[in-house]
Amino acid sequence: MNVVLTALQEQISQLDDGARLPTVRELMKTFRVSQATVQDALTRLREAGLLTSQVGRGTYVTKSQEERRIVRPPDEHLDSLLILANASLNERCVLVQNYIVDEMSRSGSKVVQISYHNTSHLLDMLSSIPDFDAVVLQSHYENIPIRLLHLLQDKARALVVDGHSVSGVDLDRVGTDWEEALDMALDHLHELGHRSIALASLDTMAQPILSVRRAFERIGRRAPDNARHFGPITLRGVLHPTQSVELALKGALEGLLDEDHRLPFTAMITLGISDALGIGRCLDELGISYPDKLSVFILGHHDVPTEHFGSMSMAGSSYLEGAQQLVKTIHRRLNSPELPPQIIYLGCSQVIRSSTTSPE
């Protein structure tokens, strides 16, 4: 955010009083950052008296005696941080934890990492541990009970959820808009000429998975007569992205093969599956060569190698940006506890690789 903050201050210094700033979306494109980063910078400039916002009209420069004041992100010291994650965490969660631990260690903070098998197990553990300055709860494809969130709020001054599986609760959370990633995948596959597309996901009722399934079905209902959305296909018994999907995906697909050993769709999108190697092995065992017989598009994190192995087309967010936003959100909450909770959506992008091509 520092680069955005400095650039905006320089831009403001050259504008007249009352000048209108570009929109948030325009600033996102200019600086190539997420919406949350732009909004955070604008918030700090408004707090410094350099900007004012009018609902429905935009953001305007307000010249004052303090217009040359330098606005810097806060540098609070965090003594203790607790990171909680399911024992079956995937590589993305590990990378996020490693980044946070490195960042906190440099400032002398104490970080405790706890993995749990289920929420009952976690509740038992939490009853015997001390309070912390902040807690990061990694939750992506599981439902979190309200009583656990209340307990964590009592044990820490700042609670941030890594993932959007929690809804209807006033707390800070950082995650990916998977529906935006789905739109990118569908746009790409439609451009290639695919008219029959399937969605495969984990067998879970977690909010991110459910929202993408509903969006996939909703878009399919509006598709023209010559297009079809198949599924969603749920991988039975696979509840976490670290479990091998090879057998579950094979069981789901082999019953769909026709007498010519073809699937009823020419492209497949996956969500919540971090095992790109397992996907490839499943298709090899079924004798389905990709991409000529089936294009495969992953919804995931483009800087997590195991999710794409350098060969799968994918759309989604960056684990690194997620980790940075978690650290920033913790400091924001500790510095300004009176501010309303933030729901931060990470920026989505796509990377096209060899797993997608035009259908035969």
Ranges of residues in the chain with a pLDDT under 50 are 65-70, 72, 74-75
Q: Which strands, in side-by-side order, build the sheet including 196-202?
A: 228-235, 196-202, 267-271, 295-301, 313-317, 349-351
Domain contains 40: yes
Omega cis (within 30) before 232 = yes
Cα–Cα nearest to 150, from 126, 133, 130, 128: 126
Statement to judge: residues 123 and 146 lie in one domain: yes
C-beta atoms surrounding 60 within 10 Å: 15
Statement to judge: residues 167 and 153 lie in one domain: yes
Considering the entire predicted model, what is its pTM? 0.76
> What CATH number is given to the structural domain containing 41?
1.10.10.10
Q: Which residues pair with 114 in a beta bridge?
A: 84
Instruction: Give pLDDT, residue 218.
Output: 93
Domain contains 66: no
**How far lies 274's CA from each of 14, 87, 214, 222, in Å?**
48, 15, 21, 30
Statement to judge: residues 266 and 188 lie in one domain: yes
Instruction: Give pLDDT, residue 349.
Output: 94
Statement to judge: residues 310 and 224 lie in one domain: yes
**If phi over 0 gives left and psi between -120 and 50 gives alpha, with beta otherwise, what is residue 191?**
alpha
3-state secondary structure at position 250: helix
Instruction: Give pLDDT, residue 3.
Output: 67
Statement to judge: residues 147 and 228 lie in one domain: no
Q: Give the distance, in angstroms, between the CA of residue 19 and the centroid of all CA atoms in the same chain.
A: 34
Statement to judge: residues 171 and 240 lie in one domain: no
285 burial via Cβ count (<10 Å: 0-12, 13-18, 19+): middle
- What is the number of domains present in the chain? 3
Domain contains 73: no
Statement to judge: residues 203 and 279 lie in one domain: yes
Cα–Cα nearest to 302, from 357, 243, 349: 349
- Its domain, for residue 299, covers 178-317
Pairing of strands 80-86, 132-138: parallel
Domain contains 128: yes
CA distance 322 to 175: 7
Statement to judge: residues 53 and 123 lie in one domain: no
Statement to judge: residues 285 and 342 lie in one domain: no
Statement to judge: residues 111 and 237 lie in one domain: no
> What CATH number is given to the structural domain containing 305?
3.40.50.2300
Domain contains 211: yes
Statement to judge: residues 160 and 243 lie in one domain: no
Domain contains 33: yes
For the chain, percent of residues with pLDDT exceeding 90: 41
Q: Supply the DSSP string of 271-312, one letter for each residue.
A: ES---HHHHHHHHHHTT--TTTT-EEEEEEETT-GGGTTTTS
Domain contains 359: no
CA distance 285 to 277: 12
3-state secondary structure at position 19: coil
Domain contains 27: yes
CA distance 313 to 226: 24
**How far lies 165's CA from each of 83, 174, 314, 328, in Å?**
17, 10, 21, 20
Helix (H) or strand (E) run with residue 95 in it: helix 91-106
Radius of gyration of the chain (CA): 23
Statement to judge: residues 212 and 299 lie in one domain: yes
